[in-house]
Amino acid sequence: MTSIGLTPSLRMTYASPIEAELTRLSEDLGHCPDLVARYPMRWLAIQLLEGDALLQAEVERLGGSVASEALAASRMRLETHYGEDLDVAMVDQRYRFVHDLAAQALTRPKTPSLTMSDRVDRIVTNRWLGIPIFLGLMWVVFKLTTDVAAPFVDWIDAVLTGPVSHWIISLLSITGLSGGWLESLLIDGVIAGVGGVLVFIPVLFSLYFALAILEDSGYMARSAFVMDRLMHRLGLHGKSFLPMIVGFGCSVPAIYATRTLENERDRILTGLLVPFMSCSARLPVYVLVAAIFFPTMAGLVIFGLYLTGILVAIGLGILLKHTLFGNELPTPFVIELPPYRLPTLRNIWQQMWERTAAFLQHAWTIILGTSMLIWLLLALPVSGEGGFAETDVDQSAFAAVSGVVTPVFAPLGFGSWETSGALLTGFVAKEVVVSTMIQVYNVPGEEEEEAVATTFGEDLLAIGGSFVSATSDALKAIPSIIGINLAAEEDEQAPDGLTGAIRQGFDASSGGHGALAALAFLVFVLLYTPCMVAVAAARQEFGSRWMWVSIIGQFVIAWLAALIVFQGGRFFL
Amino acid sequence: MLQKVLQALEETQGPVSLDELSRQLELDVGVLEGMIDFWVRKGKLKDSRLAACAGGCGNCNPGAQGCTFDRGRPRSITLT
């Protein structure tokens, strides 16, 4: 009887052998007052027969050997009926009971009505439309990260190289430390290096904003589902694309995400492919170089790079699957497609902030350390007449060290010590490619000498004014995602010091094919080792041998792909 | 009933969504989830949520809910 006087008309009954043992075990356990006081006897007997280890320990403690022996005897008798799977049988019988009960009590439509998510999924995960929709959304993401974020990139750059640099110089002159190596370290090392990377925060913020919307709305799981299906058809382990999705953000968790694959071969294979997915740290390099060499189609170039990464990963996967990794059939799996929902501002902000914070943490540790080391190597003269922090950069220790590997990159069109040095330091982290390029190509601008002295208040006003202007430009750029250009056409501007120096550098190293060399450089950055932390993760997950296979393999593929782009491009152009 | 879940996964070709599997087995998604959890506890299925990036990779601040990049990964369930 229940407390309100109703007796359930249905009682869950197990198969007779189980019921018999439940009754017997309940009676045996009922001789122990401590157990009776704490637990309903039938419930306790069910849990014990299903193998609840915690309750078994409790029963041994309170009921002693009599209770333990009674349990062991019941189990032994049931094993003759159910073998080792007694718990499976008991749970299965409960599911059957509930299922039958629900079938009697509920009237369901023969064809369940389609939810909104089902309707959208019919289009989004459609066999033919799924991949074009995925590519279309990627296109929107990269237009957002290039066109809409660009005004804010220019704004931060102007603030760091203008007012912030002036404030530092003014502070140093007040303390009598201006004009020396300390000023060079702060301006040419910290501001040029770390600041050069920090200007790309709006780009990453836009990328993380777009990714957060795709994830929070439920689309990201669909994109993985669609790509999985494609990979499965190509004979690859479809589940490999799940870690790859993470690789768009960062290669390190993507490598750890391969743990979800059961087969070690699949895990290693996916671990070798994941670094080809373009991580967010590479984006600043793309934006910097694409904005210089392909200003009118930067979004298209970046989109093409992301697509190239996916295609190289799939192509290499097929090759390895049919050679080194055997040709086993992929394991089927279930993927959860959460219902579509409107992304919440709170979730979007949390993801944007956490991911940007991870980037900032990187900036203040690895990038700052590397920038200072590069500054030191650039300040050390190895030839010429200049002293410490006064030497020409091409006579510095950094130029000498980088020059050693320059011949390797010469056939790719970017065989200069500047780009070689940037790629070398890029092994530490991809953002460092940008900071190194800004440091090595940093030409003292004439405008610095002609700069009009301003007060602190005027600087603040100018910063505020330029922010409003950047916001207005960014808003005007939003319709450009769908091809509507609201921004006034600008006259082609003369390149500033850095842009001009980078252009000249690539032109000189490529025999006048600067744009082609820049594209080959971007392809190389896309395909070679993401960063030293990813290398450490690969070593931890797959061992030293596969770590070296990964590093060397990525380098060879990056080199060959860049060679094809540069030499192939020269042949056709 | 429980065995049908494992059997359906063994026989399926390519990835299948949780909704699709629940329709195929004529089970509510909630019921299917419970069955999957049972098989995960028994070690017959593997749930990607339980094999997430453990943090400490030195690359980012893992945050209260684990690695922020890893959270974008959809949940998947595989036969072991």
Domain spans in chain A, listed from the N-terminal domain onward: 16-105, 142-327+364-486+495-572
From the list B61, B70, B79, the residue facing A331 with the nearest CB is B79
- Taking the Cβ of residue A101 and every Cβ of chain B, the question of whether any pair is shorter than 8 Å is answered with no
Q: How far is CA A489 from CA A319, A351, A477, A492, B65, in A?
A: 47, 35, 12, 9, 46
Report the distance separating Cα A360 and Cα A208, nearest Å: 14
Give the confidence band of A551 by pLDDT, cuts at 50, 70, 90.
very high
Cβ separation of A253 and B53 shorter than 8 Å? yes
- Taking the Cβ of residue B68 and every Cβ of chain A, the question of whether any pair is shorter than 8 Å is answered with yes
Quote the pLDDT of residue A331. 67
Length of chain A: 573
- Taking the Cβ of residue A536 and every Cβ of chain B, the question of whether any pair is shorter than 8 Å is answered with yes
Whether B57 and A200 have beta carbons less than 8 Å apart is answered as no
The CATH class of A16-105 is: mainly alpha
Q: If you count residue pairs, one on A and one on B, with CB atoms under 8 Å apart, how many are there?
A: 173
Contacts of A169 (CB under 8 A, 6+ apart): A178, A183, A187
Cβ separation of A92 and B2 shorter than 8 Å? yes
> Please, which residues bridge with residue A335 across strands?
B17, B76
Quote the pLDDT of residue A505. 92
Cβ separation of A215 and B71 shorter than 8 Å? yes
Most confidently predicted of A14-28, A241-255, A381-395 = A14-28
Q: Which residue has the higher pLDDT, A448 or A520?
A: A520
**Which residues 333-392 of A have a C-beta within 8 angstroms of B?**
333-337, 351, 354-355, 357-358, 361-362
Cα torsion angle, A264, A270, A275, A279, sign: negative
Q: How many CB atoms lie within 10 A of CB A455?
A: 8
Residues of chain A contacting B63 with CB distance shorter than 8 Å: 354
**Which residues 37-56 of B have a C-beta within 8 angstroms of A?**
38, 42, 46, 48, 51-54
pTM of the model: 0.75
Please give the angle made by the CA atoms of A479, A482 and A488, to the nearest 5 degrees. 45
Q: Which residue has the higher pLDDT, A447 or A561?
A: A561
Q: Which helix (H) or strand (E) holds A81?
A: helix A53-82
- β A333-335/B76-79 pair status: antiparallel
DSSP state of A330: P
Lowest mean pLDDT among A36-45, A71-80, A116-125, A439-448: A439-448
Q: Which residue has the higher pLDDT, A493 or A146?
A: A146
In this predicted structure, the answer to whether residue A2 has a pLDDT above a threshold of 60 is no
In this predicted structure, the answer to whether residue A348 has a pLDDT above a threshold of 60 is yes
Quote the pLDDT of residue A1. 44
User: Dihedral through CA A50, CA B10, CA A220, CA A111, nearest 10?
Assistant: -90
> Please, which residues bridge with residue B45 across strands?
B79
From the list A87, A260, A337, the residue facing B46 with the nearest CB is A260
Report the distance separating Cα A569 and Cα A544, nearest Å: 37
